[in-house]
Chains A and B, each alone.
Chain A
Amino acid sequence: MKSAGLVRPIVRVVLALALGALLLTPTSASAMTKFQGGPTTNLNPAGDTIHIALSNFPATGGLYVVECLRTATAGSLATSCDSAHQLWVSYDANASVSPMGDVALKVSGVVQGKTCGVDLCGIFLTYDHTKPTDRTEDQLINISFSAGMIAVVKPLDVITAKINNVAMSGSVPGSLPYHATLTISATSASGSLVTIKSSTPDCTVTKNVITALKASGYCDFALTSLGNLSLQAVTSHYPFALSAGVQSIRTIAGSAKIGARYYLPAKSNFGNVVTYVSTTPDVCTVAKTIVTGKKVGACVITAAAPAQASLWGALSSKVTLKII
Protein backbone atom coordinates (compact mmCIF):
# COMPACT_ATOMS: atom_id res chain seq x y z
CA MET A 1 0.00 0.00 0.00
CA LYS A 2 1.36 3.40 -0.84
CA SER A 3 2.05 5.95 1.85
CA ALA A 4 -0.21 8.93 2.15
CA GLY A 5 2.30 10.82 4.29
CA LEU A 6 2.49 13.98 2.24
CA VAL A 7 -1.21 14.23 1.69
CA ARG A 8 -1.96 14.07 5.40
CA PRO A 9 -2.01 17.84 5.81
CA ILE A 10 -4.46 18.08 2.92
CA VAL A 11 -6.46 15.22 4.34
CA ARG A 12 -6.71 16.91 7.69
CA VAL A 13 -7.76 20.26 6.28
CA VAL A 14 -10.39 18.68 4.08
CA LEU A 15 -11.69 16.53 6.89
CA ALA A 16 -11.87 19.55 9.12
CA LEU A 17 -14.09 21.22 6.55
CA ALA A 18 -16.13 18.09 6.23
CA LEU A 19 -16.65 17.77 9.94
CA GLY A 20 -17.66 21.38 10.06
CA ALA A 21 -20.69 20.45 8.03
CA LEU A 22 -21.31 17.07 9.57
CA LEU A 23 -22.00 16.04 13.08
CA LEU A 24 -20.97 12.46 12.98
CA THR A 25 -24.24 10.66 12.70
CA PRO A 26 -24.95 7.70 10.47
CA THR A 27 -26.21 8.75 7.09
CA SER A 28 -27.09 7.05 3.90
CA ALA A 29 -28.08 7.94 0.40
CA SER A 30 -28.59 5.85 -2.66
CA ALA A 31 -26.01 7.78 -4.70
CA MET A 32 -23.33 7.39 -2.07
CA THR A 33 -20.47 5.00 -2.14
CA LYS A 34 -21.64 1.75 -0.65
CA PHE A 35 -19.61 0.44 2.27
CA GLN A 36 -19.29 -3.31 2.61
CA GLY A 37 -16.93 -5.47 4.56
CA GLY A 38 -15.88 -5.99 8.09
CA PRO A 39 -15.69 -6.89 10.79
CA THR A 40 -17.40 -3.82 12.21
CA THR A 41 -18.46 -5.36 15.51
CA ASN A 42 -16.70 -7.07 18.36
CA LEU A 43 -13.44 -5.45 17.28
CA ASN A 44 -10.28 -5.77 19.32
CA PRO A 45 -9.66 -2.37 20.94
CA ALA A 46 -5.94 -3.12 21.11
CA GLY A 47 -5.89 -2.96 17.30
CA ASP A 48 -7.89 -4.51 14.52
CA THR A 49 -8.25 -4.24 10.77
CA ILE A 50 -11.46 -3.72 8.86
CA HIS A 51 -11.39 -4.86 5.24
CA ILE A 52 -13.64 -2.64 3.23
CA ALA A 53 -15.04 -3.06 -0.26
CA LEU A 54 -16.40 0.12 -1.79
CA SER A 55 -18.97 0.00 -4.55
CA ASN A 56 -20.76 2.80 -6.38
CA PHE A 57 -17.50 4.70 -5.99
CA PRO A 58 -17.60 8.24 -7.43
CA ALA A 59 -16.34 8.52 -10.98
CA THR A 60 -14.42 11.68 -10.15
CA GLY A 61 -12.57 12.43 -6.95
CA GLY A 62 -11.56 10.06 -4.21
CA LEU A 63 -12.50 9.45 -0.61
CA TYR A 64 -10.81 9.68 2.72
CA VAL A 65 -11.55 6.82 5.11
CA VAL A 66 -10.67 7.36 8.75
CA GLU A 67 -11.69 6.25 12.22
CA CYS A 68 -13.20 9.04 14.29
CA LEU A 69 -14.92 9.52 17.62
CA ARG A 70 -18.62 9.82 16.96
CA THR A 71 -18.69 12.92 19.14
CA ALA A 72 -16.49 14.78 16.73
CA THR A 73 -17.68 18.28 16.06
CA ALA A 74 -16.65 21.12 13.82
CA GLY A 75 -13.12 22.14 14.47
CA SER A 76 -12.24 19.12 16.58
CA LEU A 77 -10.71 16.99 13.87
CA ALA A 78 -7.23 17.12 15.33
CA THR A 79 -8.48 15.51 18.52
CA SER A 80 -11.28 13.40 17.07
CA CYS A 81 -9.88 11.24 14.27
CA ASP A 82 -7.06 8.77 13.92
CA SER A 83 -4.97 10.60 11.36
CA ALA A 84 -2.14 8.09 11.69
CA HIS A 85 -4.12 5.34 9.97
CA GLN A 86 -6.43 7.28 7.67
CA LEU A 87 -6.56 6.11 4.08
CA TRP A 88 -6.87 8.02 0.85
CA VAL A 89 -8.87 5.87 -1.52
CA SER A 90 -8.63 7.06 -5.08
CA TYR A 91 -7.71 6.11 -8.62
CA ASP A 92 -4.90 8.66 -8.24
CA ALA A 93 -1.52 6.95 -8.47
CA ASN A 94 -0.41 8.54 -5.21
CA ALA A 95 -3.41 7.36 -3.21
CA SER A 96 -3.09 4.95 -0.29
CA VAL A 97 -5.18 2.38 -2.08
CA SER A 98 -7.28 2.04 -5.20
CA PRO A 99 -11.06 1.72 -4.85
CA MET A 100 -10.64 -1.62 -6.58
CA GLY A 101 -8.19 -2.81 -3.94
CA ASP A 102 -8.47 -4.13 -0.43
CA VAL A 103 -9.18 -1.04 1.65
CA ALA A 104 -7.73 -2.26 4.93
CA LEU A 105 -8.32 0.29 7.66
CA LYS A 106 -6.56 -0.17 10.97
CA VAL A 107 -8.71 0.79 13.94
CA SER A 108 -8.21 0.82 17.65
CA GLY A 109 -10.23 1.42 20.77
CA VAL A 110 -8.47 4.68 21.49
CA VAL A 111 -8.60 7.64 19.12
CA GLN A 112 -6.46 10.66 19.87
CA GLY A 113 -6.12 9.57 23.50
CA LYS A 114 -9.86 9.10 24.02
CA THR A 115 -11.48 5.73 24.44
CA CYS A 116 -14.00 4.42 21.95
CA GLY A 117 -15.63 2.33 24.65
CA VAL A 118 -17.89 -0.21 23.01
CA ASP A 119 -19.65 2.00 20.52
CA LEU A 120 -18.30 5.55 20.63
CA CYS A 121 -16.35 5.47 17.37
CA GLY A 122 -17.05 5.01 13.69
CA ILE A 123 -15.52 5.07 10.26
CA PHE A 124 -15.88 8.37 8.49
CA LEU A 125 -15.97 8.61 4.70
CA THR A 126 -15.77 11.91 2.86
CA TYR A 127 -14.63 13.31 -0.46
CA ASP A 128 -10.90 13.92 -0.73
CA HIS A 129 -9.09 17.19 -1.38
CA THR A 130 -10.23 17.26 -5.00
CA LYS A 131 -13.77 18.05 -3.80
CA PRO A 132 -13.19 19.73 -0.45
CA THR A 133 -16.61 21.35 -0.18
CA ASP A 134 -18.71 18.50 -1.54
CA ARG A 135 -20.54 16.89 1.36
CA THR A 136 -22.49 14.31 -0.66
CA GLU A 137 -20.13 11.47 0.20
CA ASP A 138 -20.00 12.17 3.94
CA GLN A 139 -21.09 9.18 5.93
CA LEU A 140 -20.28 7.50 9.20
CA ILE A 141 -20.21 3.76 9.55
CA ASN A 142 -20.75 2.61 13.11
CA ILE A 143 -18.31 0.18 14.58
CA SER A 144 -18.14 -1.41 18.02
CA PHE A 145 -15.45 -2.98 20.14
CA SER A 146 -15.44 -6.08 22.31
CA ALA A 147 -16.58 -5.10 25.78
CA GLY A 148 -14.47 -7.84 27.32
CA MET A 149 -11.26 -6.45 25.95
CA ILE A 150 -11.77 -2.77 26.64
CA ALA A 151 -10.51 -2.82 30.19
CA VAL A 152 -7.00 -3.77 29.12
CA VAL A 153 -6.57 -0.90 26.69
CA LYS A 154 -4.56 2.01 27.95
CA PRO A 155 -5.29 5.44 26.53
CA LEU A 156 -2.62 6.97 24.37
CA ASP A 157 -0.12 9.37 25.80
CA VAL A 158 -0.59 12.96 24.71
CA ILE A 159 2.26 15.06 23.33
CA THR A 160 2.28 18.81 23.58
CA ALA A 161 4.76 20.48 21.26
CA LYS A 162 5.88 24.02 20.64
CA ILE A 163 8.25 25.43 18.11
CA ASN A 164 10.04 28.60 19.05
CA ASN A 165 7.42 28.79 21.83
CA VAL A 166 4.43 28.66 19.47
CA ALA A 167 2.13 25.63 19.65
CA MET A 168 2.67 23.18 16.78
CA SER A 169 -0.22 21.87 14.74
CA GLY A 170 -0.59 18.36 13.45
CA SER A 171 -3.18 19.43 10.92
CA VAL A 172 -1.92 22.70 9.46
CA PRO A 173 1.64 22.62 8.09
CA GLY A 174 4.04 24.99 9.74
CA SER A 175 6.52 27.05 7.76
CA LEU A 176 10.17 26.07 7.65
CA PRO A 177 12.48 28.26 5.53
CA TYR A 178 15.64 26.76 4.05
CA HIS A 179 18.41 26.51 6.66
CA ALA A 180 16.40 28.33 9.29
CA THR A 181 16.90 26.71 12.67
CA LEU A 182 13.77 26.25 14.72
CA THR A 183 13.70 24.64 18.13
CA ILE A 184 11.01 22.19 19.17
CA SER A 185 10.13 21.82 22.82
CA ALA A 186 7.85 18.91 23.57
CA THR A 187 6.42 17.29 26.66
CA SER A 188 4.20 14.28 27.20
CA ALA A 189 1.37 13.73 29.65
CA SER A 190 3.15 10.58 30.82
CA GLY A 191 6.30 12.49 31.62
CA SER A 192 8.27 10.32 29.20
CA LEU A 193 10.98 11.85 27.07
CA VAL A 194 9.72 12.93 23.65
CA THR A 195 12.05 12.06 20.79
CA ILE A 196 11.98 13.86 17.46
CA LYS A 197 12.76 12.39 14.06
CA SER A 198 12.44 13.71 10.55
CA SER A 199 10.34 11.37 8.42
CA THR A 200 11.90 12.77 5.25
CA PRO A 201 15.55 13.26 4.21
CA ASP A 202 14.85 16.86 3.22
CA CYS A 203 15.00 17.95 6.84
CA THR A 204 17.24 17.17 9.76
CA VAL A 205 16.91 17.13 13.53
CA THR A 206 19.88 17.86 15.73
CA LYS A 207 18.87 17.54 19.32
CA ASN A 208 15.64 19.53 19.22
CA VAL A 209 16.60 21.85 16.37
CA ILE A 210 15.02 21.22 12.99
CA THR A 211 16.53 22.41 9.73
CA ALA A 212 15.34 22.27 6.14
CA LEU A 213 17.85 21.14 3.52
CA LYS A 214 15.56 22.11 0.65
CA ALA A 215 13.45 25.15 -0.08
CA SER A 216 10.33 23.49 -1.44
CA GLY A 217 8.11 20.54 -0.65
CA TYR A 218 7.16 19.25 2.75
CA CYS A 219 8.84 17.69 5.75
CA ASP A 220 7.19 15.67 8.44
CA PHE A 221 8.52 15.41 11.97
CA ALA A 222 7.52 12.46 14.12
CA LEU A 223 7.43 13.10 17.85
CA THR A 224 7.32 9.94 19.94
CA SER A 225 6.67 9.28 23.59
CA LEU A 226 7.07 5.78 24.98
CA GLY A 227 4.28 6.40 27.49
CA ASN A 228 4.24 4.81 30.92
CA LEU A 229 2.33 2.20 32.90
CA SER A 230 -0.98 3.95 32.39
CA LEU A 231 -0.53 5.63 28.99
CA GLN A 232 0.29 3.99 25.67
CA ALA A 233 3.23 5.03 23.55
CA VAL A 234 2.26 7.51 20.87
CA THR A 235 3.76 9.14 17.82
CA SER A 236 2.41 12.45 16.61
CA HIS A 237 3.21 13.91 13.20
CA TYR A 238 3.80 17.55 12.46
CA PRO A 239 4.03 18.66 8.82
CA PHE A 240 6.04 21.64 7.65
CA ALA A 241 5.98 23.38 4.28
CA LEU A 242 9.48 24.28 3.13
CA SER A 243 10.18 27.69 1.68
CA ALA A 244 13.05 29.77 0.37
CA GLY A 245 15.61 30.84 2.92
CA VAL A 246 15.88 34.39 4.16
CA GLN A 247 19.27 35.87 3.42
CA SER A 248 20.49 38.28 6.04
CA ILE A 249 23.50 39.80 7.74
CA ARG A 250 24.06 40.05 11.45
CA THR A 251 22.44 42.98 13.16
CA ILE A 252 24.40 46.19 12.91
CA ALA A 253 24.07 48.42 15.90
CA GLY A 254 25.98 51.11 17.62
CA SER A 255 27.86 54.09 16.44
CA ALA A 256 31.11 55.09 14.85
CA LYS A 257 33.25 58.09 15.40
CA ILE A 258 34.14 60.52 12.67
CA GLY A 259 37.24 59.28 10.92
CA ALA A 260 37.16 55.89 12.65
CA ARG A 261 36.68 52.64 10.77
CA TYR A 262 33.64 50.46 11.31
CA TYR A 263 33.64 46.95 9.85
CA LEU A 264 30.52 45.46 8.32
CA PRO A 265 29.98 41.72 7.85
CA ALA A 266 31.72 40.53 4.71
CA LYS A 267 29.30 37.67 4.09
CA SER A 268 25.63 36.92 4.52
CA ASN A 269 24.27 34.05 6.59
CA PHE A 270 24.42 31.93 3.41
CA GLY A 271 28.07 32.77 2.72
CA ASN A 272 27.47 35.23 -0.09
CA VAL A 273 29.73 38.27 -0.38
CA VAL A 274 27.75 41.36 0.61
CA THR A 275 28.05 44.57 -1.35
CA TYR A 276 27.58 47.84 0.55
CA VAL A 277 26.81 51.29 -0.77
CA SER A 278 26.43 54.44 1.29
CA THR A 279 23.28 56.39 0.47
CA THR A 280 24.49 59.22 2.69
CA PRO A 281 27.96 59.90 1.27
CA ASP A 282 28.15 63.24 3.02
CA VAL A 283 27.87 61.42 6.37
CA CYS A 284 29.84 58.28 5.66
CA THR A 285 31.63 56.40 2.93
CA VAL A 286 31.95 52.66 2.40
CA ALA A 287 34.91 50.85 0.87
CA LYS A 288 34.08 47.16 0.60
CA THR A 289 33.12 46.42 4.21
CA ILE A 290 34.73 49.40 5.90
CA VAL A 291 32.64 52.38 6.89
CA THR A 292 34.32 55.69 7.56
CA GLY A 293 32.34 58.46 9.20
CA LYS A 294 32.70 61.91 7.74
CA LYS A 295 30.33 63.98 9.83
CA VAL A 296 27.81 63.59 12.61
CA GLY A 297 24.52 62.13 11.52
CA ALA A 298 22.77 58.99 10.37
CA CYS A 299 24.89 56.91 8.05
CA VAL A 300 22.59 54.83 5.83
CA ILE A 301 24.09 51.96 3.88
CA THR A 302 22.41 49.50 1.55
CA ALA A 303 23.47 45.87 1.76
CA ALA A 304 23.00 43.57 -1.20
CA ALA A 305 23.82 39.97 -2.02
CA PRO A 306 22.54 37.77 -4.85
CA ALA A 307 19.85 35.15 -4.58
CA GLN A 308 20.55 31.47 -5.05
CA ALA A 309 18.04 30.00 -7.44
CA SER A 310 15.44 27.89 -5.66
CA LEU A 311 17.18 28.11 -2.29
CA TRP A 312 17.15 31.68 -0.99
CA GLY A 313 16.23 35.19 -2.01
CA ALA A 314 18.44 38.18 -2.64
CA LEU A 315 19.57 40.32 0.24
CA SER A 316 18.43 43.91 0.01
CA SER A 317 18.46 45.72 3.28
CA LYS A 318 19.52 48.96 4.88
CA VAL A 319 22.01 49.42 7.66
CA THR A 320 21.99 52.57 9.73
CA LEU A 321 24.96 53.66 11.80
CA LYS A 322 25.11 56.67 13.99
CA ILE A 323 28.17 58.79 13.28
CA ILE A 324 29.26 60.68 16.36
Chain B
Amino acid sequence: MKKRMWSSGILVSALSLSSLTSSFAAAPVTSAKGSHGEVITASSVKIASGAAITVRGTNFDETVGIYLAFCLIPAAGSLPTPCGGGVNMSGTGDASYWISSNPPPYGVGVAQPFLAGGRFTKRMHLSYLIKTPDGKILADCKKVACAITIRADHLRESDRSYDIFLPITFISPKK
Protein backbone atom coordinates (compact mmCIF):
# COMPACT_ATOMS: atom_id res chain seq x y z
CA MET B 1 0.00 0.00 0.00
CA LYS B 2 1.17 3.46 -0.76
CA LYS B 3 2.39 5.19 2.38
CA ARG B 4 1.55 8.77 3.17
CA MET B 5 1.44 11.15 6.07
CA TRP B 6 -1.94 12.53 7.09
CA SER B 7 -2.18 16.17 7.82
CA SER B 8 -4.76 15.93 10.59
CA GLY B 9 -3.66 12.82 12.37
CA ILE B 10 -0.22 12.20 13.74
CA LEU B 11 0.81 8.62 13.55
CA VAL B 12 2.19 7.33 16.79
CA SER B 13 4.67 4.97 15.39
CA ALA B 14 6.35 2.01 16.83
CA LEU B 15 8.79 2.70 14.04
CA SER B 16 10.27 5.82 15.53
CA LEU B 17 13.51 3.99 16.08
CA SER B 18 13.39 2.51 12.64
CA SER B 19 16.75 3.93 11.68
CA LEU B 20 18.29 1.99 14.53
CA THR B 21 16.43 -1.20 13.79
CA SER B 22 16.61 -1.41 10.07
CA SER B 23 17.63 -4.98 10.26
CA PHE B 24 14.39 -5.90 12.00
CA ALA B 25 10.98 -6.19 10.45
CA ALA B 26 8.98 -3.05 11.03
CA ALA B 27 6.17 -3.39 13.56
CA PRO B 28 2.84 -2.14 12.22
CA VAL B 29 1.54 1.16 13.46
CA THR B 30 -1.44 0.37 15.67
CA SER B 31 -2.11 3.78 17.15
CA ALA B 32 -2.77 7.26 15.87
CA LYS B 33 -2.89 10.50 17.77
CA GLY B 34 -5.16 13.44 17.07
CA SER B 35 -4.32 17.10 17.24
CA HIS B 36 -6.10 17.52 20.58
CA GLY B 37 -4.17 14.73 22.34
CA GLU B 38 -6.72 12.02 21.71
CA VAL B 39 -5.48 8.57 20.70
CA ILE B 40 -7.02 5.60 18.93
CA THR B 41 -5.54 2.12 19.06
CA ALA B 42 -6.54 -0.89 17.01
CA SER B 43 -6.07 -4.48 18.08
CA SER B 44 -4.72 -5.18 14.61
CA VAL B 45 -4.04 -3.18 11.47
CA LYS B 46 -3.20 -6.07 9.13
CA ILE B 47 -6.31 -8.16 8.78
CA ALA B 48 -8.21 -10.44 6.47
CA SER B 49 -11.29 -8.95 4.91
CA GLY B 50 -14.32 -9.46 7.10
CA ALA B 51 -12.29 -9.82 10.24
CA ALA B 52 -13.18 -7.97 13.39
CA ILE B 53 -10.88 -5.66 15.27
CA THR B 54 -11.25 -3.73 18.50
CA VAL B 55 -10.69 -0.02 18.38
CA ARG B 56 -10.02 1.86 21.58
CA GLY B 57 -10.03 5.59 22.05
CA THR B 58 -8.70 7.59 24.96
CA ASN B 59 -8.44 11.21 25.99
CA PHE B 60 -11.16 12.44 23.65
CA ASP B 61 -12.92 15.71 24.37
CA GLU B 62 -16.26 14.52 25.69
CA THR B 63 -17.98 17.71 24.61
CA VAL B 64 -17.29 16.99 20.94
CA GLY B 65 -19.19 14.16 19.27
CA ILE B 66 -17.34 11.97 16.76
CA TYR B 67 -17.88 9.32 14.14
CA LEU B 68 -15.75 6.22 14.15
CA ALA B 69 -15.78 4.57 10.74
CA PHE B 70 -13.70 2.78 8.11
CA CYS B 71 -13.05 5.19 5.26
CA LEU B 72 -11.06 5.88 2.18
CA ILE B 73 -8.29 8.23 3.23
CA PRO B 74 -9.16 11.51 1.55
CA ALA B 75 -6.94 14.24 0.23
CA ALA B 76 -5.45 16.31 3.00
CA GLY B 77 -8.03 18.67 4.46
CA SER B 78 -10.99 16.93 2.84
CA LEU B 79 -13.96 15.30 4.51
CA PRO B 80 -13.33 11.56 4.91
CA THR B 81 -15.55 9.78 2.41
CA PRO B 82 -16.70 7.26 1.38
CA CYS B 83 -16.92 5.26 4.56
CA GLY B 84 -18.10 1.74 5.23
CA GLY B 85 -21.46 1.91 6.89
CA GLY B 86 -21.74 5.57 6.05
CA VAL B 87 -22.57 8.08 8.75
CA ASN B 88 -24.19 5.99 11.41
CA MET B 89 -26.98 8.08 12.89
CA SER B 90 -29.16 5.05 13.48
CA GLY B 91 -26.91 3.36 16.00
CA THR B 92 -27.09 -0.01 14.29
CA GLY B 93 -24.36 -2.25 12.92
CA ASP B 94 -20.68 -2.14 13.73
CA ALA B 95 -19.20 -0.62 10.58
CA SER B 96 -19.40 2.82 12.06
CA TYR B 97 -20.33 4.45 15.34
CA TRP B 98 -21.64 7.79 16.50
CA ILE B 99 -20.03 8.57 19.83
CA SER B 100 -21.31 11.62 21.64
CA SER B 101 -22.02 12.46 25.24
CA ASN B 102 -24.16 15.48 24.41
CA PRO B 103 -26.00 14.74 21.18
CA PRO B 104 -28.95 16.80 20.01
CA PRO B 105 -32.37 15.53 21.13
CA TYR B 106 -32.80 13.26 18.10
CA GLY B 107 -29.50 11.56 18.93
CA VAL B 108 -30.30 10.68 22.52
CA GLY B 109 -30.33 6.92 22.78
CA VAL B 110 -28.67 6.57 19.38
CA ALA B 111 -25.29 8.12 19.92
CA GLN B 112 -23.23 6.28 22.46
CA PRO B 113 -21.57 8.37 25.16
CA PHE B 114 -17.88 8.47 25.91
CA LEU B 115 -16.70 6.71 29.03
CA ALA B 116 -14.91 8.73 31.68
CA GLY B 117 -11.61 10.05 30.44
CA GLY B 118 -12.94 10.41 26.91
CA ARG B 119 -12.63 6.68 26.31
CA PHE B 120 -14.46 4.21 24.10
CA THR B 121 -14.00 0.61 22.99
CA LYS B 122 -15.72 -0.57 19.81
CA ARG B 123 -15.69 -3.74 17.79
CA MET B 124 -15.61 -3.27 14.03
CA HIS B 125 -15.92 -5.78 11.22
CA LEU B 126 -13.99 -4.50 8.23
CA SER B 127 -14.33 -5.38 4.58
CA TYR B 128 -11.83 -4.28 1.95
CA LEU B 129 -14.73 -3.18 -0.20
CA ILE B 130 -16.54 -0.03 0.80
CA LYS B 131 -20.00 -0.22 -0.73
CA THR B 132 -23.25 1.67 -0.90
CA PRO B 133 -26.23 0.06 0.82
CA ASP B 134 -27.34 -1.31 -2.56
CA GLY B 135 -23.98 -2.94 -3.21
CA LYS B 136 -22.21 -0.47 -5.45
CA ILE B 137 -18.48 -0.52 -4.79
CA LEU B 138 -17.12 2.86 -3.79
CA ALA B 139 -13.58 1.88 -2.85
CA ASP B 140 -11.38 -1.19 -3.01
CA CYS B 141 -9.14 -0.89 0.01
CA LYS B 142 -6.70 -3.43 -1.42
CA LYS B 143 -5.96 -0.89 -4.12
CA VAL B 144 -6.40 2.41 -2.32
CA ALA B 145 -5.46 3.55 1.16
CA CYS B 146 -8.19 3.16 3.76
CA ALA B 147 -8.13 3.73 7.47
CA ILE B 148 -9.97 3.51 10.72
CA THR B 149 -11.19 7.07 10.78
CA ILE B 150 -12.29 9.52 13.41
CA ARG B 151 -14.03 12.76 12.48
CA ALA B 152 -16.14 15.25 14.36
CA ASP B 153 -19.82 14.42 13.98
CA HIS B 154 -22.23 16.28 11.71
CA LEU B 155 -22.56 19.08 14.24
CA ARG B 156 -18.98 20.06 13.35
CA GLU B 157 -18.80 18.47 9.95
CA SER B 158 -16.39 21.00 8.47
CA ASP B 159 -13.96 20.91 11.38
CA ARG B 160 -11.05 18.81 10.16
CA SER B 161 -9.02 19.25 13.36
CA TYR B 162 -10.67 16.17 14.83
CA ASP B 163 -9.77 13.87 11.94
CA ILE B 164 -7.57 10.89 12.77
CA PHE B 165 -6.56 8.12 10.37
CA LEU B 166 -5.15 4.74 11.32
CA PRO B 167 -4.35 2.90 8.05
CA ILE B 168 -5.51 -0.69 7.66
CA THR B 169 -3.89 -3.27 5.41
CA PHE B 170 -5.84 -6.25 4.11
CA ILE B 171 -3.99 -9.50 3.81
CA SER B 172 -4.99 -12.65 1.98
CA PRO B 173 -6.27 -15.43 4.20
CA LYS B 174 -3.84 -18.29 4.75
CA LYS B 175 -4.52 -21.28 2.57
Chain A nearest CB from B43 CB (Å) reads 18
The range of chain B's interface size is: 10 to 19
Contacts of A204 in B (CB 8 A): 101-102, 113
Interface residues in B101-117 (C-beta closer than 8 Å to A): 101-102, 108, 113-117
Interface residues in B72-120 (C-beta closer than 8 Å to A): 101-102, 108, 113-117, 119
Contacts of A308 in B (CB 8 A): 117
A182 contacts the other chain (CB 8 A): no
Mask of A183-204 contacts with B, CB within 8 angstroms, 1/0? 0000000000000001001111
In the complex the two chains form, what is the Cα distance from A213 to B62 in whole Å? 6
In the complex the two chains form, what is the Cα distance from A178 to B118 in whole Å? 12
Within 8 Å by CB of B115, from A203, A214, A271, lies A271
Within 8 Å by CB of A271, from B62, B108, B116, lies B116
Chain A nearest CB from B54 CB (Å) reads 15
A311 contacts the other chain (CB 8 A): yes
Within 8 Å by CB of A311, from B63, B108, B116, lies B116
Assess whether A271 is in contact with B102, with CB atoms less than 8 Å apart. no
Assess whether B116 is in contact with A201, with CB atoms less than 8 Å apart. no
Chain A nearest CB from B60 CB (Å) reads 10
Given A206-B108, A213-B63, A214-B63, answer yes or no on A271-B117 (Cβ-Cβ < 8 Å). yes
Within 8 Å by CB of B102, from A179, A201, A312, lies A201
Is chain B's binding surface mostly helix, strand, loop or mixed? loop
Given A201-B102, A204-B102, answer yes or no on A271-B119 (Cβ-Cβ < 8 Å). yes
A270 contacts the other chain (CB 8 A): yes
Contacts of A178 in B (CB 8 A): 116
Chain A nearest CB from B117 CB (Å) reads 5
In the complex the two chains form, what is the Cα distance from A202 to B102 in whole Å? 8
In the complex the two chains form, what is the Cα distance from A198 to B114 in whole Å? 18
Given A206-B108, A213-B102, answer yes or no on A201-B63 (Cβ-Cβ < 8 Å). yes
The range of chain A's interface size is: 10 to 19
Within 8 Å by CB of A213, from B101, B108, B119, lies B101
Within 8 Å by CB of B116, from A198, A203, A245, lies A245
Contacts of A36 in B (CB 8 A): none
Contacts of B101 in A (CB 8 A): 204, 211, 213
Using CB atoms, name the residue of chain A closest to B155.
A201
In the complex the two chains form, what is the Cα distance from A312 to B116 in whole Å? 9
In the complex the two chains form, what is the Cα distance from A198 to B101 in whole Å? 12
A269 contacts the other chain (CB 8 A): yes
Chain B nearest CB from A45 CB (Å) reads 34
In the complex the two chains form, what is the Cα distance from A308 to B102 in whole Å? 22
Using CB atoms, name the residue of chain B closest to A268.
B116
In the complex the two chains form, what is the Cα distance from A58 to B71 in whole Å? 59
Within 8 Å by CB of B62, from A214, A269, A270, lies A214
Assess whether B116 is in contact with A269, with CB atoms less than 8 Å apart. yes
In the complex the two chains form, what is the Cα distance from A211 to B115 in whole Å? 12
Contacts of B102 in A (CB 8 A): 198, 201, 203-204, 213
Chain A nearest CB from B61 CB (Å) reads 8
Chain B nearest CB from A249 CB (Å) reads 14
Contacts of A245 in B (CB 8 A): 116
Contacts beyond the supplied A206-B108, A312-B116: 7 A-B pairs with Cβ under 8 Å:
A202-B63, A213-B63, A213-B114, A214-B62, A214-B63, A245-B116, A271-B117
